[in-house]
Amino acid sequence: MIEIEHLSLAIHDTPILSDVSLQIGKGEIFGLVGESGSGKSMTALGLMQLLPDGAELVGQARLDEIDLLTKSEAQMCALRGNELSMIFQEPMTALNPVQTIGDQVAETLLIHQAAKPSGARRIARDRLDRVGLSHIGMDSYPHELSGGQRQRVCIAAAIALHPRLLIADEPTTALDVTTQAQILDLLKELVAEEDMSLLLITHDLAVVADMADRIAVMQTGQIVEQGPTADVLREQRHPYTRALFEASSHQPERQDQAAPEPLLQVRDVVRTYPGRRNGLIQRGAPVRAVDGVSFDLHAGESLGLVGESGCGKSTLTRAILGLEPVQGGAITAFGKEVGPEMPNALRSGIQVVFQDPYGSFNPRWRVERLVAEPFHLMPTPPSGAERRDRVAEALSAVQLSPDDMTKYPHEFSGGQRQRIAIARALITHPDIIVLDEAVSALDVSVRARILDLLADLQEQLKLSYLFISHDLTVVRAITDRVLVMQAGKIVEEGDTETVFSAPRHSYTQKLLAAAPVLDIAKETPLDALV
Amino acid sequence: MSRLPASLIFGAAVSAVFLLAALVSFLWVPHDVTNLVIANRLQPAGGAFVLGTDQFGRDILSMLMVGARTSIAVALVAVGIGIVLGVPLGLAAAATRGSLLDEVIMRGNDLIFAFPSLVIAILITAVFGPSALNAILAIGIFNIPVFARVARGGALSLWTLDYILAARTAGKGKLRISAEHILPNIANLLIVQATIQFSLGILAEAALSYVGLGAQPPTPSWGRMLAEAQTMIYTHPMLAVLPGLAIVLMVLGLNLMGDGLRDLLDPRLRRARG
């Protein structure tokens, strides 16, 4: 039983948490939901006493009889990994790359002197088997495993000593949907089996809806609502819960305006990479990242491209943008061939918005110069006042102030940066915009607004979108037609609604089954919501 | 605002004192260092000669000031050679990662690294004659691969970022991207490396002139002052201590400044400092 009472936290006098209270029962899964900056991770780190320097924590936190906040650092070391342990979002960096996975799981046991080295390895093997890695050797290194497998190793290490509380901080955010479903199932099983408590921290309402017994919704350091999952999601008493819920299943208003003529044609495109070197000169067989892909993008259409990581969608994107050559087939846009040698005029017709709102801009440039960069494609780039007018126009189009052009990118939030990225894509008045996971890194409420913006712009400017994403909900919300990609091939293609409601290919069916769904509202009669 | 690291303040202050002394020496020195007045030989510190005189009657303070000028000039130009040649090579290698050009540049670097630098510097000055210019060239050549490596390493991590991809979709070539996006963003790495190489250059110059292969008489230099004081180290230890101290302080100051700049400019360390 975990009891947090009136927990408040300030870091360097900036308030982070105020008056957070919650209880997690034995064998219970407790979901802590909120957007970035809401303080959900800080609550967990506060429990673990792993807060950054300058943090001041007041209140109470008890794990059964243990008063966590009065423990010294040495006493906490004995508790961490033993009574309470934690897994993190990024399984790529949570493991030490130069240690074998067996050693890393056994390490927990050795630190807490729960076993002798030989015994620790035996227990580690046993734990790895339990998390579904019986086919993986103890001597494997993290880089030899997939993301999902690495997260399983982290889980094995975290549960090695049968902790009373496991904290999972966004454990599946970095994983593909099918992997996410497996990891969530595993966590569920472990909670039942070990009779431990699980604090599941996530931004994704759909994940907790499927998993948690009770949830708490956090906003700006406070818990605004908590209770049994079904009740909270059905009643949505607090306006923020309602806003979060609506944003999660947000459907921008769109009109079908696809014209019959194709703007972009992709025909039998093959993109190979040289195989792995297996000697000084010799190389293995080339890897076919994109393997005979064909599709059309029509004027004014919004086309989705769905697939899990490694399916070749990013490679295909770079080929469509003319950044890399293709080894077979052809890509044509506006009737002209696309490739690394394509003329600038053609390039200015296809622009792109990337996923990462933080890596998308040169940190040393001001917004005006950043947004104006694609002007390089024009034979006579506008300069001086004309350039400023065009940048101001693009910024207004994405609902930013023209005054923002004198600022640096770090002065903006993630959502605002994504607007700047869209402004940069619009500046040359392109017909096609490739959106490469453009909303994946954003919080749900910000994502809903960006999707609205994209729908508006499409209608006003008659844009064609190629919308690349792993997020099925988003693709369903914004696209007319969808392509499903697996291992370099398009396995299914069709109208978005048809594909989503009646998938034909087994892979599409698997993807849709794995995606967590927020379906509580659908089961509820409409009048109960009012 | 974040506080400046203490090592930066101290290092910059020490370096500034030497730089100032070197600059002042162009306009004014307490006593002419080319004039040998044997009557004034081996004067103790204090009086007309603040730090005393050497066995030829030259004022030590004046010699240290003019010597600082030599050391700084040699090290500065040598660092300049490294930056001007090394950075473009590193940027070119990063821009064409995995190509033949990249291989040639990096293996060329390895080749230079494989030679013991001071021995080669001695060889060069011995073959082409001892002079400040040859010392500069000898030290400068070994700065090229250092800067090429730092530039390539920094640039490689930037090439994977989205804004570089965005610049490529804006039709910009590799040359332009390297100049507009890569170079300004690795400038902090280069500045830090330049401070470190600068201090190594001072040491190398002192070593070369110690063995008589650096700046030639009558131009004073710290290394030769040390060498000339060697025979009198038991009778007049200050003759050796003072130039030695100058070298140590200058190198220490520059290293501390480099460390401090790294703390200040590296965003990862900046976050760790809070």
- The helix (H) or strand (E) run that includes residue A55 is strand A55-63
Instruction: Indicate the range of A332-336, A465-469, B233-237 predicted with least confidence.
Output: B233-237
Residue B267 confidence class, pLDDT cut points 50, 70, 90: low
How do residues B66-80 score in pLDDT, each as one tens digit? 889 888 999 999 999
When CB atoms are compared, the residue of A344, A355, A364 closest to B171 is A344
Rounded to the nearest integer, the mean pLDDT of chain A is 88
Task: From chain B, pick out residues whose CB is under 8 angstroms from the CB of A359.
Answer: 161-163
Q: What is the pLDDT of residue A519?
A: 64
**Token pair in block for residue A414:** 């993630």
Q: What is the pLDDT of residue A174?
A: 79
**Token pair in block for residue A394:** 């693009």
Cα-Cα-Cα-Cα dihedral of B3, B4, B7, B11, to 10°? -160
Q: What is the pLDDT of residue A233?
A: 86
How do residues A275-285 score in pLDDT, each as one tens digit? 777 766 777 78
**CA–CA separation, A264 vs A432, rounded Å?**
8
How do residues A184-226 score in pLDDT, each as one tens digit? 999 999 999 988 999 999 988 888 888 899 999 999 889 999 9
When CB atoms are compared, the residue of A347, A360, A375 closest to B166 is A360
Give the angle subtended at the CA of B97 by the CAs of A470 and A311, to the nearest 5°. 20
Q: A39-77: buried (b, 16+ CB within 10 Å) or exposed (e) per residue?
A: bbbbbbbbbbbebeeebebebebbbeeeebbeeeeeeee
Residue A527 confidence class, pLDDT cut points 50, 70, 90: very low
**CA–CA separation, A254 vs B53, rounded Å?**
89
Cβ contact A355–B162 (<8 Å): yes
**CA–CA separation, B104 vs B115, rounded Å?**
17
**CA–CA separation, B216 vs B202, rounded Å?**
16
Question: How large is the average pLDDT for residues B167-183?
Answer: 91
Half-sphere exposure at residue A223, Cβ-oriented, CA atoms within 13 angstroms: 22
Cβ contact B171–A347 (<8 Å): yes
Say yes or no to pLDDT of B269 above 70.
no
Q: What is the pLDDT of residue B2?
A: 54
Q: Higher confidence at residue A210 or residue A268?
A: A268
Say yes or no to pLDDT of A368 above 60.
yes
Non-local CB neighbours of B40 within 8 Å, separated by 6+ positions = B49, B53, B57
Task: Please tell me whether residue B270 adopts helix, strand or coil conformation.
Answer: helix
Q: What is the pLDDT of residue B125?
A: 82
Give the angle subtended at the CA of A387 by the CAs of A384 and A389, to the nearest 5°. 110
**Token pair in block for residue B16:** 């500034």
Question: How large is the average pLDDT for residues B87-111?
Answer: 92
* Other CB atoms within 10 A of residue B69 CB: 23
**CA–CA separation, A408 vs A421, rounded Å?**
13
Tell me which residue has tokens 């914004």: A478
**Residue in B169, B265, B270 to test binding to A, most A beta-carbons within 10 Å:** B169
Q: Percent of chain B beyond pLDDT 70?
A: 96
Say yes or no to pLDDT of A335 above 70.
yes
Question: How large is the average pLDDT for residues A290-294?
Answer: 91
Q: What is the pLDDT of residue B261?
A: 85
**Token pair in block for residue A400:** 């930013």
Helices B222-229 and B238-265: crossing angle in degrees, nearest 10, is 150
Say yes or no to pLDDT of B231 above 90.
no
Non-local CB neighbours of A80 within 8 Å, separated by 6+ positions = A48, A49, A50, A86
Tell me which residue has tokens 């073959």: B127
Cβ contact B185–A355 (<8 Å): no
Q: What is the pLDDT of residue B274?
A: 37
Say yes or no to pLDDT of A489 above 50.
yes
Q: What is the pLDDT of residue A254?
A: 80
How do residues A124-154 score in pLDDT, each as one tens digit? 999 999 998 988 888 999 988 888 899 999 9
Task: From chain A, pick out residues whose CB is under 8 angstroms from the CB of B171.
Answer: 344, 347-348, 374, 376-377
Tell me which residue has tokens 């330049």: B194
DSSP string for A85-130: EEE-S-TTTSS-TTS-HHHHHHHHHHHTT-S-HHHHHHHHHHHHHH
Cβ contact B162–A53 (<8 Å): no
**Token pair in block for residue B23:** 């600059």
* Other CB atoms within 10 A of residue A356 CB: 19
Q: Which of B70, B28, B29 is nearest to B243 (CA)?
A: B70
The predicted complex's ipTM stands at 0.77
What's the gap in Å between the CA of A352 and the closest CA on chain B? 7
Task: From chain A, pick out residues whose CB is under 8 angstroms from the CB of B162.
Answer: 354-356, 359-360
Q: Higher confidence at residue B43 or residue A526?
A: B43
C-alpha distances out from residue B266 to A289, B11, B149, B262, Å: 36, 18, 18, 6
A170: left (phi over 0), alpha (psi -120 to 50) or beta: left
Cβ contact A53–B274 (<8 Å): yes
Closest chain B residue to A365, measured at CA? B181
How do residues A45-92 score in pLDDT, each as one tens digit? 888 888 888 888 888 888 888 888 888 888 888 888 888 899 988 877
Q: Higher confidence at residue B173 or residue B35?
A: B173
Q: A124-162: buried (b, 16+ CB within 10 Å) or exposed (e) per residue?
A: bbebbebbbbeebebebebeebebbbbbbbbbbbbbbbe
**CA–CA separation, A442 vs A509, rounded Å?**
26
Q: What is the pLDDT of residue A341?
A: 87
Q: What is the pLDDT of residue B266?
A: 64
Q: Higher confidence at residue B266 or residue A189?
A: A189
Question: How large is the average pLDDT for residues A221-232?
Answer: 90
Give the CA radius of gyration of chain A: 25
**CA–CA separation, A523 vs A517, rounded Å?**
12
**Token pair in block for residue A426:** 């619009």
Chain A positions touching chain B (beta carbons under 8 Å): 12, 52-54, 318, 321-323, 344, 347-348, 350-352, 354-356, 359-364, 373-377, 421, 424
Residue A530 confidence class, pLDDT cut points 50, 70, 90: very low
Non-local CB neighbours of A408 within 8 Å, separated by 6+ positions = A363, A364, A365, A366, A367
Tell me which residue has tokens 């400019």: B265
Task: From chain A, pick out residues whose CB is under 8 angstroms from the CB of B172.
Answer: 373, 376
Task: Please tell me whether residue A66 adopts helix, strand or coil conformation.
Answer: strand
Closest chain B residue to A54, measured at CA? B274
How do residues A501-518 score in pLDDT, each as one tens digit? 999 999 999 999 888 877
Q: What is the pLDDT of residue A153?
A: 93
When CB atoms are compared, the residue of B163, B169, B170 closest to A359 is B163
**Token pair in block for residue B188:** 């902090």
Q: Which of A303, A307, A296 is nearest to A331 (CA)?
A: A296
Cis peptide before B218 (omega within 30 of 0): yes
Q: What is the pLDDT of residue B89?
A: 96
**Token pair in block for residue A26:** 């034995």
Residue B268 confidence class, pLDDT cut points 50, 70, 90: low
